[in-house]
Structure 1
Amino acid sequence: MHTAVAHTSIRNYDRMRKTGELGRVQQEILGAVGGYPRDYSLQELAQATGLAINTVSGRVNELRAKGQLQLAPSRACKITGRTIRPVRRPNPQGDLF
């Protein structure tokens, strides 16, 4: 199935992909995560940002691929109570060692 996508949207997507620029939703998620060492589950991020869980999941995967987020040690999710691997920003001093 094909959908109509504006040429400007395609150009912006290509530009962002080539330059590594973050999209609005990615920036919103990084803002919610805050600084190292705070960590969040996907459910906690969805609740904090008001975004749908599928949106959060996709953007978190993109941010992990770019090295903007990493997995943190396992813990219980504050919302579901299940054991999860939350995400957090990398340690800013990690490159020094």
Structure 2
Amino acid sequence: MHTQVAHTSIRTYRDIKKDGTVSTRQRQIMAVIEPYPADYSLQELCELTGLPVNIVSGRVHELREKLGELQHGPSRTCRITGRTIRPVRRPHPQMGLF
């Protein structure tokens, strides 16, 4: 399902992408993520970074889907919400060998 996005939102996204804000946010998230096997829910990342969930969610998606810096871990209960989640984590360090 596609939703209509305001032209100002699209323009703002392109502007922050050009000025490096997106990269800065990605680095901010990666800085708090410990090496494999530590994993995090979006809410846990929000707590660690101080960023709102809408920013964390978008940057985590980019880091996972587009850049391959993160991957899903096994399902578990979120420490903050108590809900079952699929956390994200850094890939196993030896995955690059295969």
- TM-score, normalization: structure 2? 0.78
The count of aligned residue pairs is 88
Gaps of 5+ in 2: 1-5
Once the two structures are superposed, the pairs formed by residues 11-30 of structure 1 within 5 Å of their partners are 12=18, 23-30=23-30
Check if 1:2 corresponds to 2:7. Answer: yes
Q: CA deviation at 1:90?
A: 0.4
2:88, 2:17 → 1: CA distance? 30
Secondary structure of residue in 1 paired with 2:7: coil
Runs of 4 or more, structure 1, over 6 Å off, are: none
Q: CA deviation at 1:35?
A: 1.2
- Who is 2:3 aligned against? none
Secondary structure of residue in 2 paired with 1:44: helix
Change (3 A) 1:11 1:72: closer
Change (3 A) 1:24 1:11: closer
Q: CA deviation at 1:59?
A: 0.3
1:85, 1:39 → 2: CA distance? 9
Change (3 A) 1:11 1:91: closer
Gaps of 5+ in 1: 17-21
Check if 1:94 corresponds to 2:95. Answer: yes
2:46, 2:88 → 1: CA distance? 13
- TM-score, normalization: structure 1? 0.79
